[in-house]
Structure 1
Amino acid sequence: MLTLSRAKFAASAARGRHFPGHWPLLAVIALALSGCMPATTQVAAADPADPAARVAPVGYRSAIAPYTSLRPATPAPWRARNDAVTPQPKQDR
């Protein structure tokens, strides 16, 4: 595959065109080389091994704090619950 790629590049260079259909290959090379670049931002100014370093306070929030149990609940009579949600009949009909 590398030989075929070199042959296509040589043929396109002979015609005066540079990188005609090699943009995926160039993108892969650029991506691979970007992994070799050093980080430009500092992660932390303090030494993580320093026991006197200031850190953010730790807090606790329960994930189920607003939960309230609804059991056991005594069911209402089904007739009253059904009548409460049915639409009322219109008087003009």
Structure 2
Amino acid sequence: MLAFSGAKSAAASAVGGRHFRFDWLLLAVIALALAGCMPATTQVAGADPADPSAKVAPLGYRSTIAPYTSLRPATPAPWRDRNDAVTPQPKQDR
């Protein structure tokens, strides 16, 4: 990418007058790439994670399958009764 930016800058300088913008763009890309490699020197939030005496929030446990109840083995009801229970009732006014 840097070679491409350098070639772009060289081509722009040959045209004249526009190379200033490409040099700043190249400088900004390099600065951004180097900034990503720098270690963080300031503490953003909270205590140091390496400090064993640091206060932390209490840990709670909630089961992901707590409301589960087993339905097996279940005795099946007769299919006719189960079918009649969910069938819509016929209308009386017709």
TM-score normalised to structure 2 length: 0.59
Gap runs ≥5 in structure 2:
none
- Flag the 1:76–1:27 CA change in 2: closer, same or farther, 3 A: farther
Query: C-alpha deviations, 1:51-93, integer Å up to 9, x for none?
Result: xx5443333333322221112211111001111212223341x
- Equivalent pairs: percent with the same residue? 72
- Flag the 1:46–1:6 CA change in 2: closer, same or farther, 3 A: closer
What is residue 68 of structure 1 aligned with on the other side?
A: 69
More displaced stretch, 59-68 vs 69-78: 59-68
- Flag the 1:5–1:32 CA change in 2: closer, same or farther, 3 A: closer
What is residue 60 of structure 2 aligned with on the other side?
A: 59
Question: Does 2:9 correspond to 1:13?
Answer: no
- Report the number of matched residues: 85
**Which of structures 1 and 2 has the larger relative contact order (alpha carbons within 8 angstroms, sep 6+)?**
2
Distance 1:34 1:13 in 2: 28
Distance 1:7 1:31 in 2: 20
TM-score normalised to structure 1 length: 0.59
The RMSD of aligned alpha carbons is 3.3
Query: C-alpha deviations, 1:23-76, integer Å up to 9, x for none?
Result: 6x67753542221344232552586244xx544333333332222111221111
What is residue 84 of structure 1 aligned with on the other side?
A: 85
SS in 1 for 2:37: coil
Q: Which residue identity is paired with 1:66?
A: P
**Where do 4+ consecutive residues of structure 1 move more than 4 Å?**
25-28
